[in-house]
Amino acid sequence: MVALNGRDLLSLADLSSTELQELLQLATQLKSQKLKLQSNKVLGLLFSKASTRTRVSFTVAMYQLGGQVIDLNPNVTQVSRGEPVQDTARVLDRYLDVLAIRTFAQQELETFANYAKIPVINALTDAEHPCQVLADLMTIQECFGSLNGLTLTYVGDGNNVANSLMLGCALAGMNVRIATPEGYEPDPKIVEQARSLANNQTEVLLTHDPELAAKEAAVLYTDVWASMGQEAEADDRLPIFQAYQISEQLLSLADPQAIVLHCLPAHRGEEITEAVIEGSQSRVWDQAENRMHAQKALLASILGAQ
């Protein structure tokens, strides 16, 4: 079993290609097998952003491993009253065994990790969403048997999911194409990091042409056009992103056996059509379920299980 042994997971770039594959293998095993932590561990969830899948999947995963979960709602802790991050981190370090943080700034996550000795997991920031992409890669591997050489096309906003997809695909030996409107590209630093991880073995392509990106792809992927914290921009973004919808027409350009993924929640009729998300090529619900299995594998490898 992969042993991350108390390490943080702040970015998928914290993993090696081998560790990523071992995590995915463990997640697949845990989908049908039980595994228990060596002792009764406690996971803290410190979520400053709303959550359904991340909150529930982490909670159920930890319970199934035999551990406990404390929901540290910022609104009912001193975090909401301005307690410094470093103070909260050093206190929680004395109580918990592992902490999953869902927040806005990547820097806040990194500060927590710097001041807490316990492992810290990125449960979503504005920069990355590594746990989501672990589940995405698990789902793709279930469908195709292997990740190596496949092409994933993401269309829409160059957000945290797009950033983590580039890193995850590069580590997994997949080609990744990111199609966004001009001015909405993913983080240039993460683009370069992904290309470095790919090491000329696979393609990391940025384009403004969704049809070009979709051609013969094995996976089409999208996310909402306005992420949490960008709701005020949603109406202004609609006309800009219209060409970046996963529709039946766009799907027809992909490989005939292609699958469709969406990290949810979905705005049907915007970034994806009703027919596609409910169609035979959609694997969205398997993808959502796999959040639990992938995160269970992550927790088990960080905390130690038997």
pLDDT score at 39 = 85
Question: What does the mean pLDDT of the chain come to?
Answer: 95
Backbone angles phi, psi at 177, to 5 degrees: -120, 130
Q: Which residues of the chain have pLDDT under 70?
A: 306
Catalytic residue among 97, 126, 136, 223: 223
- Residue 26, SS3? helix
- Any idea what the Cα angle at residue 212 is, between residues 208 and 213, rounded to 5°? 75
In whole angstroms, what is the distance from residue 25 CA to residue 19 CA? 10
Q: Which residues contact 212 (CB under 8 A, 6 or more apart)?
A: 179
Do 291 and 131 contact (CB within 8 A), yes or no?
Answer: yes
Does the annotation flag 143 for ligand binding? no
Does the annotation flag 262 for ligand binding? no
Read off the pLDDT of residues 62-111 as tens digits, 9 standing for 90 and up.
999 999 999 998 887 887 778 999 999 999 999 999 999 999 999 999 99
Does the annotation flag 160 for ligand binding? yes
The domains located in the chain, with CATH, are 12-128+291-303 (3.40.50.1370), 132-287 (3.40.50.1370)
- The question of whether 126 is a catalytic residue gets the answer no
pLDDT score at 199 = 85
pLDDT score at 75 = 80
- The question of whether 93 is a catalytic residue gets the answer no
